[in-house]
Amino acid sequence: DADVTQTPRNRITKTGKRIMLECSQTKGHDRMYWYRQDPGLGLRLIYYSFDVKDINKGEISDGYSVSRQAQAKFSLSLESAIPNQTALYFCATSDSRAMNTEAFFGQGTRLTVV
Amino acid sequence: AQSVTQLGSHVSVSEGALVLLRCNYSSSVPPYLFWYVQYPNQGLQLLLKYTSAATLVKGINGFEAEFKKSETSFHLTKPSAHMSDAAEYFCAVSGAGNNRKLIWGLGTSLAVNP
């Protein structure tokens, strides 16, 4: 089983719908991240959480919200999806006890908003 | 503040040729540096990392990178390209400290021609 699991892997939704992307990890890491990937724009940080009680906005948080339900679970919600939120979304984890901030990624969720 | 610049969004090489993917960084603190690879329809996986030990870092799949402080560079190389190396490659930097996060380059797409 993957260390970082994202569900669903693919999703098509309509404009205005609420959608939740889920992420769970078995690595025991305290830090979790949500990124969005668009062609030519690299990875952009949406939200990050350094522990269950610590949630922070990233560079592109507008239109998104998150919930850290447990150390192992971090979900991303689009309250009212719009077409420009069509992208590949990645969840990642890291361990604050490590000397470096190496991140471990899930397989991604491809979201299409029509 | 930290930043990463990857020179060349697309690089094309012939099978068996040298692979050179360029990464320059800016950091006000001693950096940790990373190269990640993303194969089609997959998440990102770590190729190699520099964490202030040896300046020449060896990674998986025959890749290596050299940290050059004077040039603020961390270029990725492989002596002989294989078809299976075709992927997107990302360089990232982080600094020390409790709130360190990864700062990402925009990525370089590597094509390997037969």
Restricting to B residues 69-98, those with a Cβ less than 8 Å away from any Cβ of A are 90, 94, 98
pLDDT digit string (tens) for B37-52?
A: 999 888 999 999 998 7
- C-alpha pair distances (Å), B6 with each of A51, B24, B58, B73: 31, 6, 19, 10
Q: Establish if B22 touches chain A: CB-CB under 8 angstroms.
A: no
- The yes-or-no verdict on residue A100 having pLDDT over 80 is no
The sign of the dihedral angle between the CA atoms of B83, B84, B90, B91 is negative
Q: What pairs with residue B64 in β-bridges? A: B58, B77
Q: Which residues of B touch A108 (CB under 8 A)?
A: 41-43
- The yes-or-no verdict on residue B18 having pLDDT over 70 is yes
- Band the pLDDT of A98: cuts 50, 70, 90: confident
- The yes-or-no verdict on residue A40 having pLDDT over 90 is no
Q: Which residues of A touch B98 (CB under 8 A)?
A: 96
- C-alpha pair distances (Å), A88 with each of A2, B54, B56: 18, 35, 33
Indicate the residue of B9, B49, B104 with minimum beta-carbon distance to A43.
B104
| Percent of chain B predicted with pLDDT > 70 | 96
